[in-house]
Amino acid sequence: MFPQIRMRRLRYGKLKNMVRENAVNVGDLIYPFFVDETAAEKSEVASMPGVMRWPLSLAVEAAREAYDLGIPAVLIFGIPKTKDEKGTSAYGDDDVAQAAIRRIKAEFGDDLIVITDLCLCEYTDHGHCGIVDFETRDVVNDQTLPVLGKIAVSHAKAGADIVAPSGMMDGMIEAIRLALDENGFEKTPIMSYSSKYASVFYGPFRDAADSGFCFGDRSEYQMDPANGDEAIRETELDVLEGADILMVKPGMPYLDIVYRIKQEFKMPLAVYQVSGEYAMIKAAAEKGWLDEEKCFLEACVSMKRAGADMIITYYAKELAKILAAKDQKKVLANVPKSKR
Ligand code: PBG
């Protein structure tokens, strides 16, 4: 006890860096972006300053910006030119997501991991994540499963390296695994949005992806923010159905879930710092109330501390730049003063 033990002894100079337990690395980052089939030019999302919707013609450029910074993976969201009740523009060979995947894979091959968001909400005119029965106003779980299988196969055919189902339908991982395997894609991993909460923090995303819903909300399929134990059951099912990588979404308000899922399953785990988390930091920074860089760095290192292996963040490019600059500084700091 004090005065023998003084925690401050290790908080000085170079030693502080040597005893640091966690770090965000560029290799942990996944850069999400939106490809808009009707856009002719890139345009900024109003509620997410700095985040663009990219036209198909610039999809490769969007990916290149991440690739050039050393980011290993991108997550693609398609915004189709047509939407209908059944989301038929989600699985055509030449639909927006498939076209974007094809172009990006043609350019980067195995040097960039292409992950695809696999859901119906961007492709249905009602904005729900599944097939809707309008009489009962229900998102019909089991009718949605074969459609998700079809989308998965279309993404894999176009060259997607990983599919990431985000619709929170029961049984979706098994349905997608079977569909992929039947079509020769048994090597394509599934990154499941395994504990995805019905969160208000997705608000700005719905501007970005035009995926607001016309009735109800998503609380009948996404998880109740009040529940923690339920995340374990949700995730366990996905694991048993064949999920290869797990995910917790949103990030910062759910770090207890990140911790529990990592401890319980010891599987690769991604955390999604969602649109609302990004927008909050941006807005506070624009007002001069928070230091933006320090804020997203701290948020992301906290995700790593909680147990995340990978971080999906709209700040991926900014993070990569800062981390590169820090590395540069570290290299210099380790050159003895006399030799600098
Ligand atoms: C699609 C999907 C959503 C997000 C990722 N995939 C929207 C939703 O579930 O309503 C949200 C991402 C974000 O807020 O950044 N189902």
- Strand, coil or helix: what is 116? strand
Q: Return the H-helix or E-strand segment holding 238.
A: helix 229-241
Q: What is the pLDDT along the chain (340 residues), one digit of tens a residue?
A: 999 999 999 999 999 999 999 999 999 999 999 999 999 999 999 999 999 999 999 999 999 999 999 999 999 999 999 999 999 999 999 999 999 999 999 999 999 999 999 999 999 999 999 999 999 999 999 999 999 999 999 999 999 999 999 999 999 999 999 999 999 999 999 999 999 999 999 999 988 888 888 888 999 999 999 999 999 999 999 999 999 999 999 999 999 999 999 999 999 999 999 999 999 999 999 999 999 999 999 999 999 999 999 999 999 999 999 999 998 888 888 788 788 7
- Please classify residue 237 by burial: count the beta carbons closer than 10 Å to its beta carbon, then call 0-12 exposed, 13-18 middle and 19+ buried: middle
Hey, whose CA ends up nearest to atom 14 of ligand 1? 202
By annotation, the residues acting in catalysis are: 196, 249
The residues lining ligand 1, judged by C-beta closer than 6 Å to any ligand atom, are 117, 119, 121, 129, 166-167, 202, 205, 211, 218, 274-275
> Which H or E run contains 76?
strand 73-79
How far is 258 from 250, CA to CA, in rounded Å?
10
How far is residue 113's CA from residue 67's CA, in Å, rounded to a whole number? 10
pTM above 0.85, yes or no: yes
DSSP assignment letter at 340:
-
CA 23 to centroid of ligand 1, rounded, Å: 26
Q: 10 Å Cβ neighbour count for 150?
A: 18
- The atom of ligand 1 lying closest to the CA of 166 is 16
Gap from CA of 209 to ligand 1 centroid (Å): 9
